[in-house]
Structure 1
Amino acid sequence: MSVTEPSATPASAVPPASGRVKSWRLLAANPLTVAAAVALAVVVLAAVLAPWIAPYGVNQIDVANALTPPSPSHWFGTDELGRDVLSRVLLAGSTSLTIAVTAVAIALVLGLVLGVVAGYRGGWVDAALMRVVDVMFAFPVLLLALAIIAIFQPGMVTTIIAIGVVYTPIFARVARASTLSLRTSAFVQVSRTMGTPAPVILVRHVLPNIGGPIVVQTSLSLAFAILSEAALSFLGLGIQPPAPSWGGMLFTAQGFLAQAWWMSVFPGAAIFVTALAFNLLGDGLRDGLDPRQRTLIEARQGERRRRKSLVDPAPTTQENPR
């Protein structure tokens, strides 16, 4: 009596993975994206817990231990007033992330409104709104932020407003381009024919379908917002002393580069790691969320697997003769 082995399920019977599953697989398979996410998680956790894990007060002065190099009692050393650099880096991270997240949130909301309305309505509305955006794009980011801060008093609120305003045109451009491609789609045309109000169409159909590019741009803008805040604080137009900020710490450290390298290295490293992690995460999100990028990556992976199978064919199993 012969035993019939169950036949394997044909490949065509296996349901293909959905776009969301493919996106998560690509993100998890990208080591740079995973490393960036882990680094950002550490930075955010340290910033949130900074008031409790900082070993010293942010402005706790100890002149007797001024300019002390890194040691077990002061892991990142001390500055010219004997303040613990580690404590200031941690608390400055909380300030920098708060400014970056709030400013990008403002830019996201304003940019989405301008871009979606301009792309959906078209005509003179699109032309008028985009001319405003073009005027804002004509100025360098830092120069426009300096102009806004010059009108008001330097400080945390002014820095948030300045960064939020200068990054609004970027989100407006991205939202407009995505909305233009959706305006003529079948589901939008059907909703218009059925008499669905424009706000309902935008919220129900347009916004969910432009989420991918917006998420990617948000991650990239957070990186540039961190750099912008540091630059403004370095120039003395952002966070004002004695409140700690990474840019302000770099400004103070420039007078002690020869005798206290740690004053500049640690806040500079915090800026570098945070901005780089946001950039790498943005690149990974772009590859995972953009269908075209996802298709290209899958095609390259399939080509590599095909070449590997040709170079190293699977060993054949020989039956033992009876």
Structure 2
Amino acid sequence: MTTNTRVSSWRLLMGNPVTVVSASILAVIVFVAVAANWVAPYGVNDVDVPNALRPPNGEHWFGTDELGRDVFSRVLVATQASMRVAVVSVLFAVVVGVAIGVVSGYRGGWVDAVFMRIVDVMFAFPVLLLALAVVAILGPGMTTTILAIGIVYTPIFARVARASTMSVRVEPFVSVSRSMGTGHLYILGRHILPNIAGPLIVQTSLSLAFAILSEAALSFLGLGIQPPQPSLGRMIFDSQGFVTLAWWMAVFPGAAIFVAVLAFNLLGDGLRDVLDPKQRTMIEARRQGMQQ
């Protein structure tokens, strides 16, 4: 990618106000994920029964739960846990899925057939059902949740990497490199991976959003992050019996999930507009038409 292309990409990305806002929100979420334990005004498990079910006020911004615990502090630390699960699980899926997809798309033949049939079998199961099966076998907990979500999203990256690799491997520069006797690892690292990075970056952003939802769903069912570690999904589950008495117990954890997922999705759309040549050409043509 040339310098002019990079500058143009940044202009397109920063010229989209929705993308800028979503990136700003994600920056705040990342800060929370890093500094939640220092920012939280109260301990996440500090019980104060006399102050139970207090509505939002100056002392407790998000109110308190049935045990008098500060909901704001618990949402911050739970967001940190959700982000940790999402990032690590998606990183696992990227590494394993891209490796499978690139090898499958580059080699073809029986290697491609074997790998893709395994991927097809995994795709046959609904995402949450497959994650539940993994957790049921290995037992609930944060490590198991990370592994389950990582396994579930590995086939997606394998498919994206394979499709992109198959389109790049027939390019003239790859053929020339092969004819010169260049090793396969060099071709993969120098020619294939840099040219398939765009779709993978977009898919990573979208998968982070769905990973947060998956973690919340598993925790809601009692199979994800276990107490006393707070979890957004578990907080929503615990609030079911207090919806009419303490709406804030469900609204604020749900809002945290909603904002994080929406921000990742909007950022993914913005990255797609910049990294997808077709989308980028359409946007640039539209802008030129508006200027004329």
TM-score range, shorter-chain basis? over 0.9
Does residue 26 of the first structure (1) align with residue 12 of the second (2)? Answer: yes
Match of 2:141 in 1: 155
5+ long unaligned stretches in structure 1: 1-15, 307-322
Alignment coverage as a number of residue pairs? 291
Distance 1:188 1:254 in 2: 58
Does residue 255 of the first structure (1) align with residue 241 of the second (2)? Answer: yes
Q: Extract structure 1 runs of 4+ deviating beyond 6 A.
A: none
Identity over aligned residues, as a percent? Answer: 69
Match of 2:62 in 1: 76
Deviations 1:19-70 (A, max 9, x none): 2222111100001000000001111112211111111001000000000001
Match of 2:192 in 1: 206
Distance 1:136 1:154 in 2: 21
Deviations 1:273-316 (A, max 9, x none): 0000000000000001111110000111111222xxxxxxxxxx
Alignment map for 1:130-149 (pairs within 5 Å): 130-149=116-135
Distance 2:83 2:38 in 1: 17
Does residue 221 of the first structure (1) align with residue 221 of the second (2)? Answer: no
- 186, 189, 206: which one pairs with 2:172? 186
Match of 1:63 in 2: 49
Match of 1:175 in 2: 161
With the length of structure 2 as denominator, give the TM-score of the two structures: 0.98
Distance 1:260 1:203 in 2: 55
SS state at 1:83 partner: coil
Distance 2:186 2:19 in 1: 35
| Per-residue deviation, 1:186 | 1.1
Distance 1:87 1:47 in 2: 12
Match of 1:305 in 2: 291
Considering fraction of residues, name the structure with more helix: 2
Q: One-letter code of the match for 2:4?
A: S
Q: One-letter code of the match for 2:87?
A: V
Deviations 1:137-195 (A, max 9, x none): 00000000000001011000000000000000100011001100111111111111111
- 280, 286, 291: which one pairs with 1:294? 280
Q: One-letter code of the match for 2:164?
A: S
With the length of structure 1 as denominator, give the TM-score of the two structures: 0.89
Q: One-letter code of the match for 2:147?
A: I
Does residue 275 of the first structure (1) align with residue 257 of the second (2)? Answer: no
Distance 1:278 1:40 in 2: 7
SS state at 1:184 partner: coil
Q: One-letter code of the match for 1:75?
A: W
Match of 2:150 in 1: 164
Deviations 1:210-243 (A, max 9, x none): 1111100000000000000000000000011111
Distance 1:17 1:222 in 2: 29
Q: One-letter code of the match for 1:225?
A: A
| Per-residue deviation, 1:17 | 7.5
Distance 2:282 2:7 in 1: 16
Match of 1:11 in 2: none
Deviations 1:250-273 (A, max 9, x none): 000111000000000100000000
* 8 Å contact from structure 2 (residues 33, 84) kept in 1: no
Larger Rg: 1
Match of 1:309 in 2: none
Distance 2:106 2:267 in 1: 30
Does residue 116 of the first structure (1) align with residue 102 of the second (2)? Answer: yes
Match of 1:197 in 2: 183
Distance 2:22 2:244 in 1: 32
5+ long unaligned stretches in structure 2: none
